[in-house]
Amino acid sequence: MKTDRIELAYGRGFSELNFDPERFSVLTNANENDSALSDFEVGTAFDAPIASPPPDEIVSSDNSVLIVVSDATRATASAQVVNLLVRRLVQAGVSPARMAIIFATGIHRPVTEKERIELLSPFIVQLLRILQHDAYDRSKLTSLGTTDSGVTVEVNSALREFSHVFVTGGVTFHYFAGFTGGRKSICPGLASAKTIEATHMLALDFETGGRRRGVQTGRLEGNAVHEECERVAATVAPAFSINTIVNEKKSAMKVFSGDWRLAHRAACNFYLARCSVGIPAKREIVVVSCGGFPHDINLIQAHKALDMAALACEDGGTIVLLAECSDGLGRPDFLKWFEESNSRALAARLVDGYEVNGQTAWALLTKAERYRVCLVSQLPAQDVRRMRMIPVRTIAEALDAAGNGEGFILPRGAAVLPRIETQ
């Protein structure tokens, strides 16, 4: 029997899988082999922004600039992008003393010193003031009123302390906000826990106990979560945005800069066209890697790959999720949600007391009930079982028990959207 071999990213390393190409098809997107942009090419993207002047024409020497950067759970090529942006702003006359960087951590943990250097480079860390966001520290939050739909807008006070806000981020799929990037740098990135909860709870239909219509991967129009996050970001009105799309090596292969709404929309349209993969039908088995670090840094992030795999798996089939989870679950209290007997009971609990990570737990549990989910990770086996998944040591171990059906392999799970082809 002929076999092929593939390396699937796991943390900062790889796991090898030998498979029968007659049974398994590999689903990849069109970005896999795109080469990294040079500094000159990134600069060219700054010079040709969408519906906006270039950054050096927006600022002057008496301005101050806050640069928003994603945390370690995202691959955005921020070290290259921020370096080039800062140099451009300095050339335009903005003193480094009048610039600062803030990490859009939302309700994630703080960025570590090591991560700062990786995300920004030693040069930028030494040159600029670095701010941290805490969604729970009310002393560092500012109220900006409410949106037209009634959501209370509370954001980091630094967004009002600088004359110009530049947002940076990476665009990929998001399982209920449609796409990452753009407005997410402000909400949830720099919003209060209260505002984050108010926007994210729009993903659920509390009458049916399921997902709200229109809230889905790869969709912005009619997506209540995306639209509300945009309303929150509009109260800040960023001066400029930089949206990157990265290749398999996490280097920037495309940059969309300019107006914070329109540049993000252009990046999302490009990404959807390039990263959707048509399949004739779902299959019994799906093997999915998150794409390695940082996409599998914790289980909450790794769930995004599981969500994509579910789009390609038959009901009752087997999903093998490869996710190192070196940072654990992502929240120390995540397991509390799995005290409920099933996903419907968990949904009822969310109605009584909504929390963002409770929604992630609900989404995970619905898949564990619908599929046989085998997890290759560093998580304790008892925790995996508590979440209704099956702990396995290797992919081969999971496949031995999965039967002889046909399957798909997703090497970069969260970066590929499987869609059933219609005749």
Least confident of 176-180, 205-209, 216-220, 357-361: 205-209
Q: Distance (Å, rounded) from C-alpha 173 to C-alpha 268?
A: 9
Q: Mean pLDDT in the chain?
A: 94
Least confident of 167-176, 200-209, 325-334, 387-396: 200-209
Q: Tens digits of per-residue pLDDT, 271-314?
A: 999 999 999 999 999 999 999 999 999 999 999 999 999 999 99
pTM listed for this prediction: 0.90
Q: The sheet that has 24-26: what strands, in order across it?
A: 24-26, 407-410, 283-289, 313-322, 372-376, 390-392
pLDDT of residue 230: 97
Q: Tens digits of per-residue pLDDT, 390-411?
A: 999 999 999 998 988 999 999 9
Query: Is pLDDT at 423 greater than 70 in this prediction?
Result: no
pLDDT of residue 401: 87
Query: Is pLDDT at 3 greater than 90 in this prediction?
Result: no
In the block, residue with structure tokens 């390609």: 312
What is the band of 199 on the pLDDT scale with cuts at 50, 70, 90? very high
Query: Is pLDDT at 31 greater than 60 in this prediction?
Result: no
Percent of the chain with pLDDT over 70: 98
Neighbouring-strand partners of residue 221: none
pLDDT of residue 30: 60
Neighbouring-strand partners of residue 417: 276
- For the chain, which domains are there? 4-29+280-420 (3.90.226.30), 39-273 (3.40.50.11440)
